[in-house]
Structures are given as C-alpha cells and as structure tokens.
Structure 1
Amino acid sequence: MGLNYPVRQGKVRDVYDLGEQVLLVASDRISAFDYILPSLIPDKGRVLTQMSQFWFETLDIPNHLISTDVQQMKLDGDVDLSELDGRATLARKTEVIPIECVVRGYLAGSGWKEYQRSQTVCDIPLPEGLPQAAKLPEPIFTPATKAESGHDENISFERMVEIVGPDMANLLREKSIAVYQAGAQRALEHGIIIADTKFEWGVVNGEVLLIDEVLTPDSSRFWPQNEYAVGMSPPSFDKQFVRDWLEASSWDKNSEPPTLPQEVVEKTRAKYIEAYERITERKFAW
C-alpha cells in the first residue's frame, strides 16, 4: 500500500497505527476453517467496510469511526488512493477490550451442536425440544476470547467478569444485546435474519466505543427470511459456497487449502453484495 506506518495484519484486515488514530484496510482475503485461502473474493473488503460504515452511522451507539473518505485522510507515503477507496476506515485508537462479545438469537452452528448434547449453549440452559435454527426466547450473550492459537474460545460470563470486572462485563452484555436487537430488526425489515453476531469494543478516556466491523456477513450469520425454516440449516449470505465446496473437496483441513473455482468466487462475491444492498438500500458502487 506504500503506507509508512506500523502495521498489524489479521486474517482480513490490515491495521495501521497512526498515533491517536488507526487506519483499518479491509482486504479481499477470505478465511475458512481457520485458514486464509489462496483465492480472493473481489470487492469483499469494500462490502465489509461500507456495511460497517452504514451501521456505525445508523445505530445509536458511540463508535470509533472518523471517516471512510480516503480523500480526507492525510496519509504518509506513496499511497495509491484507488487501492484504498471504499475499503479504508480511519478510526479512533482505543484500548481494545479482550473479549469477543457474541450474541445469539437463533439456534445454529456450534450452539446447535452443543444443545443437542446438553440442552445448553455455552453452558446457558435453554428450553427443551428446540429444533435446529429455532429462534431463541431471548437473545443470549456468549462471550469468547482469543486463545494462544488465535482461535476464538468460548468462556463463561463468570470468566469474563474475572477478566474485565463485573461493571464492564454487565455493560458490554447490555450494549451487545441492544445493538444486536436494533440491527436484527432493521435487517428483518429487509428480508434478512441475523441469526448471531459478534462485536468488539474499546475504551478511550473512559468511554466505551463499538469498534472493528459491525453486523457484516463476516462477523454474523445472515439468513434469507424467505428461505428460513426451522429444523434445517438455512442458506446464508456469507461463506456458504466456499465452505460447501471445501467440504466436498479432498482437502484435509490440515494442509494448505486449495484454490477456489471461479464460479465459487463469483457466487460468494454476489452474496456479499446482495446482503449489503438489501440491508442498506444502497447500490454497491464498485
């Protein structure tokens, strides 16, 4: 990118340290089964950035967003702004709270697997007899943390209290559920169910801010309402085509992943864009 700043690279985002601010650049990388795949999904980073911008501006919650307009960012270095356009977020630097704040509104994924064994999700007891993909009586908060391996590791709320203290734990639970409910209501009005999601939070001068990405197909499980039915796993707007193809391939999930077929790349790109356009009522401009 030609940016003269310290950088930390995640699976999808590159984070540049600008002093009191950070620059988040969402790439077109895609990960599955804890591997970064060799194939890119064109414009995926722009979809994630623009959708997060929409939610930051729409939801009534303090957040870290400063701007996504690269023309207004005074960046050092020989920077090609066309590369950054649409995928860069200038944000306030925060002290990141080391908890993944997961909110689940439906019984899916690893939660469904656990429920079948023990009638719990992350050790939270649930009513008996719920089918797969059932809407939960109330959204539940199931925090996670990063293990040394870099994977998310579910923890109890009591463990979260030990890490961040009772006041912060209760505040984050309350804020996370409230943001999920507001976003899920908006999405449902546009034909998309947000089954679950995860948030990250940071602190600046004692103020708790919503940070990173918000209610995107990468951080959430999106289902089309018109194809939703209990008792089955609904189709999704995220990495469905990628996961399905990898599951059907000969890849052992313990070695370098294979290159995706062009058809899978194109279908995945189309699903990300469809989710963005339906929720925001905006035309994807790239």
Structure 2
Amino acid sequence: MSGFVDKPEPLQVPGLVHLHTGKVRDLYQTGSGDLVMVASDRISAFDWVLPTEIPDKGRVLTQLSLWWFDQLADLAPNHVISTELPAAAPAEWEGRALVCRSLAMVPVECVARGYLTGSGLLEYRESRTVCGLALPEGLADGSELPAAIFTPATKAAVGEHDENVSYEEVARQIGADTAAQLRQATLAVYSRARDIARDRGIILADTKFEFGFDGDTLVLADEVLTPDSSRFWPADQWQPGRSQPSYDKQFVRNWLTSPESGWDRASEQPPPELPQDVREATSAKYVEAYERLTGLAWSPKGANGA
C-alpha cells in the first residue's frame, strides 16, 4: 500500500477545470484548452506523498525549471506559454504556476544517466547492465559512466514504482521513430545541463524528462532539472564507492528510515509527519541547489527573484 497519506482537496477556481492531482503538481485547464500547472509544497518518498509540506518547495521547482528552459531553448522547445496567473487564480499560486500548452504526452519517463546509482546500480550489481545496456566491470556506487546512457521507464500511477524498461521495449510500444527522437533529445538536453552544472561545481548524476508532441514537434514538458527530477551532487565531495551528498530530499529519506521516525517501510502503515528540523533542512537544500545552479539569490516572489 502507498499513495497519498492525506490527499488534498483541489482548489476550485472560477474559469478553470481541475484535471488531476499528482504527487507534487495540480493540473487545471482553461476555457481555451491551455493548461495551468501548479507546483505544491508536497513531497514524496518511497512511493508515499507525505503529510508534511516543505516550505517554498513548489516555487523553487517552478523557478528553477523556468531558468533551465531558458538555458535549453535552442535544443528543445518547451510547453510554457506564460507565467502570468489567470485572473481568478489565488494569490498563493504566485511563483508556482505556469500556463502551458496542452500536448499529446508520450507515456515514457526519459531518464539520462551519467553516473551509476539508484535503481541503475541495483540492476548493474545483478547483471552488469542498466535497462539492458552492458556496462564495464568494476563500477561502484557513484561511478561516472564511460558515456551518458538513455534508460527509459514506464510512467506509474501515484503510489506505484516507475519500471525501468529497455530501449527496444520503448520502441515496440511507441514506435521506432518516436523512441529515437526521445533518446536523442534526452541525451542532448542532459549533456548541455551536465556541462552547465559542472561549471557551477555540481555533478548532474542523472535526471528524467517528460516530452509531448505539439503536432509533429517534440516538446519538453513538466518540470526540468530540479532536485525532484534529478540527482545533484556537490562536485568537491564526489567519492565513488559510497552514497553521495546531494541537493534533494535525502534528508527526508534518511529520517524516514532512521529509528527516530518509528516507521517501518515494509509495513502498510503511512509515514509520519516530518519534524521541523527535517523540513527546514530539506527546504534549505532545495534553495541551495537553485542558488548554486542559477547564480541568483532566491526569492519566492517570482522568476529570477523579480
């Protein structure tokens, strides 16, 4: 059992139709058919959406995504139309809502890995492969791969695991041409972002993207290159062979699996509330990732601190 510990009731906003509540984002549709994507402060871990929110997390994710969309504009068009809120939108949406094009989404999580960790490491230890791709002997947790690899996954519902699949299986499901487009775009965007992050003292270990089609054009959608969708490691502390320090929700995972939380991950019981110090430490890590990557001082008021 997993999912939401306490699923929130969506806000009812005049002129907008609520379509979906995800782990982090709420999706609405305007009368013209455009989408309004609102990033909440919810946080998930171990397939649970936790009962405790992380202050300003949704705004950090939104503002960092916007910054990355600008860095990647020449490589991949994106779905953002405007950051201007619909007239009836609540004030709490400021800095966390985007008006976006409605796309025909591709049902594949497009994962790029430049380093070995997470589910890729588990598969490597069993078979020396990741998503069916053979890798060299002797790699450890945190090892840099000889070259970045495309390791897709099927999209899962809230409370379920995404499942790593081979490139061949993706091609079978969505067609060889579309699969090839996804792989090329994913690796191109990852390579650009990896180099930008490296210049700022951060290793982009892996990340996942979502794409959709606007007619025949492949478009980058959802969030991009945030601490929720990526593993960011401080380069000066990188040491293969162990778990790496990171700019993400590792504080949350560590506390939930510690004796202090009193929670048994193997049980069917939902996780408990997070203590204040864990909330604050996690929020600080998200803000630090934003500031180190963008070079901007964090402000919750809007894009680029405006």
TM-score (structure 2 length as normaliser): 0.89
For residues 65-80 of structure 1, the aligned pairs below 5 Å read: 65-70=80-85, 74-75=86-87, 77=88, 79-80=89-90
- Name the SS of the counterpart of 2:67 in structure 1: helix
Q: Which amino acid aligns with 1:16?
A: Y
Matched, 1:16 2:28: yes
Matched, 1:6 2:21: no
- Superposition deviation, residue 147 in structure 1: 4.3
- Name the SS of the counterpart of 1:114 in structure 2: helix
Q: In the alignment, which residue of structure 2 is the partner of 1:64? A: 79
Matched, 1:188 2:191: no
User: Among 252, 264, 274, which residue is 2:288 paired with?
Assistant: 274
- Name the SS of the counterpart of 1:139 in structure 2: strand
Decide whether aligned partners of structure 1 residues 255 and 233 sit closer, same or farther in structure 2, where only a CA change above 3 A counts.
same
For residues 127-166 of structure 1, the aligned pairs below 5 Å read: 127-147=136-156, 150-166=160-176
Q: Which amino acid aligns with 1:12?
A: V
For residues 62-141 of structure 1, the aligned pairs below 5 Å read: 62-70=77-85, 74-75=86-87, 77=88, 79-80=89-90, 82-141=91-150
* Residues 192 and 222, structure 1, Cα contact 8 Å, conserved in 2: yes
CA-atom RMSD in angstroms: 1.3
Q: In the alignment, which residue of structure 1 is the partner of 2:52? A: 39
Matched, 1:29 2:42: yes
- Superposition deviation, residue 89 in structure 1: 0.8
CA distance in 2, matches of 1:6, 1:269: 27
Q: In the alignment, which residue of structure 2 is the partner of 1:283? A: 297
CA distance in 1, matches of 2:181, 2:155: 20
* Residues 251 and 282, structure 2, Cα contact 8 Å, conserved in 1: yes
CA distance in 2, matches of 1:187, 1:129: 26
CA distance in 1, matches of 2:252, 2:198: 25
Structure 2, unaligned stretches of length 5 or more? 1-10, 301-306
For residues 258-273 of structure 1, the aligned pairs below 5 Å read: 258-273=272-287
For residues 200-239 of structure 1, the aligned pairs below 5 Å read: 200-239=210-249
Q: Which amino acid aligns with 1:103?
A: A
CA distance in 1, matches of 2:41, 2:170: 32
CA distance in 1, matches of 2:67, 2:231: 18
User: Among 31, 51, 61, which residue is 2:64 paired with?
Assistant: 51
CA distance in 2, matches of 1:101, 1:115: 19
Structure 1, unaligned stretches of length 5 or more? none
- Superposition deviation, residue 146 in structure 1: 2.3
- Name the SS of the counterpart of 1:278 in structure 2: helix
Bigger shift: 250-259 or 201-210?
Answer: 250-259
CA distance in 1, matches of 2:23, 2:156: 15
TM-score (structure 1 length as normaliser): 0.95
List per-residue Cα deviations over 1:98-125 (Å, max 9, x = no partner).
1100111001111112212211112211
* Sequence identity (%): 52
- Name the SS of the counterpart of 1:182 in structure 2: helix
- Superposition deviation, residue 40 in structure 1: 0.4
Q: Which amino acid aligns with 2:55?
A: P
- Superposition deviation, residue 69 in structure 1: 3.0
Matched, 1:175 2:185: yes
- Name the SS of the counterpart of 1:116 in structure 2: helix
CA distance in 1, matches of 2:111, 2:163: 11
- Superposition deviation, residue 22 in structure 1: 0.4
- Superposition deviation, residue 216 in structure 1: 0.4
* Residues 53 and 68, structure 1, Cα contact 8 Å, conserved in 2: no
Runs (4+) of structure 1 exceeding 3 A deviation are 147-150
- Superposition deviation, residue 95 in structure 1: 0.5
